[in-house]
């Protein structure tokens, strides 16, 4: 159980440090998806 707790804490730390990179990637993906959607209309 301690291993799961430490892993969860480590994952939380990685997300806290890199949330802007993840958000940027999600925004790029959403923009590409939306552009492809508009291109099919």
What is d(CA 8, CA 5) in angstroms, rounded to the nearest whole number? 5
Helices H, strands E: what count in the chain? 1, 0
How many domains is the chain built from? 1
pLDDT at 18: 79
3-state helix, strand, coil in the chain (%, to 5): 95, 0, 5
**Domain with 11 in it:** 1-41
Give the per-residue pLDDT at 27.
95
Q: What is the pLDDT of residues 1-41, one digit of tens each?
A: 666 666 677 778 877 887 888 889 999 999 999 999 999 98
**pTM of structure:** 0.57
């Amino acid at each position: 159980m301690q291993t799961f707790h430490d892993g969860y804490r480590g994952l939380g730390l990685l997300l806290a440090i890199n949330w802007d990179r993840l958000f940027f990637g999600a925004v790029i993906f959403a923009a590409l998806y939306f552009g492809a959607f508009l291109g099919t209309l």
